[in-house]
Amino acid sequence: MDSLKKADIERLLGWYRNNKRDLPWRDTGDIYDVWLSEIMLQQTRVEAVKAYFKRFKKEVPDIRSLSETDDDALLRLWEGLGYYSRARNLRKCAVKLVEEYGGAFPKDEKELMKLPGIGPYTAGAILSIGYGIPHAAVDGNVMRVMARYFGISEDIRSQDVKDKIVTLINDFYRDHPLSDSESVRDLSQAFMELGAIVCVPNGAPDCEACPWKENCICHRDGSYETIPYRSSLRERKIVKKTLLILRDHDRFLLHKRDSKGLLAGMYEFLSFDEWLDRDEAVSYAKKLGLDVLRITRIEDSRHIFTHLEWHMRAYEMIISEWQETLPEDCILANREELENIAIPSAFRTYIDRYALRERKEE
């Protein structure tokens, strides 16, 4: 495999500086912005992240304030982004940074990777984009760009291929030191930007707009449809799920999920990992000591996680009055109180049905 050519890197830098998108976390000079945006962007589109980033920064502007944010408030800010363990790891990381590093990120890869939620890519982004330290930050966009540029036909999911690409970038930094830290910041982002807006994952790349087309093997061979090669993920598990939306005129019964596992610590409607019929749903409510005035089967819904798919059926159950003692880990919440409770977007169909909150995008 050849090495990266200095002339191509210079063309890439020039292209980036003329074509980079205006993003709220870009070029702010704040490493917190680099870290927060990179965590938010995992498994999430840039356009979707923009509003969340602005709202999160407004409420939690820095590492210290993040370390002091309680879980409910944090999950409420994160609601809709999914992969909620990212939010919990953000807070855990912030606490550790404050307690052990004076509220700043260490400048060493090994030290960074000891922090919760930080792997090789995020560590590379903090070092290169945050501090301007020459270090590879290789995400899916960079993998695709480099695989096509060098004509790498091996499985892009393999660790060997990832390691090769990291080595190629780090070797370039070693053999061709950039003149200043700003160039390092730009180059790290330029690799990603090229994959995001030119060498795109779906459909044909815009080769005519690419600064690397002259030396790109895929452009020469027309092999973009087969490179990069990506092996299949395992099939999603289908889970049949029943929701019981128990309510009186104004209040809803919500259950807090376990502190570990999927959607840990978030609130949901009472649910079962099986499909219940109407009689079974009423029977369960009666076991709780509740008098059901009316039960209605409402619309089904589906939510897709990475390796899991929920197929949901739901019953609205109108209750005459609540027992003095609620079921374990349950609370009653009216619409106003629900503004401060984190309910997963998996239940968006039912949240929207009852207009439990109005979203204010900034």
Q: How many other β-carbons are positioned within 10 Å of the β-carbon of residue 266? A: 24
At CA 58, angle to CA 187 and CA 184, rounded to 5? 10
What single-letter amino acid sits at 63?
Answer: I
Question: Residue 328 catalytic?
Answer: no
Q: Which of 119, 115, 117, 121 is nearest to 99 (CA)?
A: 115
Helices (H), 288-359: 348-353
DSSP, collapsed to helix, strand or coil, labels residue 230 as coil
Ordered alpha helix ranges (H), the chain: 6-19, 31-41, 46-59, 63-67, 71-78, 85-101, 109-112, 120-125, 140-150, 159-175, 181-197, 217-221, 278-287, 348-353
Task: Please identify which of the residues 10, 38, 235, 339 carries the catalytic annotation.
Answer: 38
Q: Are 12 and 179 in contact (CB under 8 A)?
A: no
CB 252 within 8 A of CB 331: no
**How would you write 241-291 as a 3-class SS string?**
EEEEEEECCCCEEEEECCCCCCCCCCEECEEECCCCCHHHHHHHHHHCCCC
For the beta carbon of residue 210, count every other beta carbon within 10 angstroms.
Answer: 20
- Residue 144 near residue 156, CB atoms below 8 Å: yes
- C-alpha dihedral, 141 to 147 to 153 to 157, nearest 10°: -40
What are the residue numbers of the active site?
38
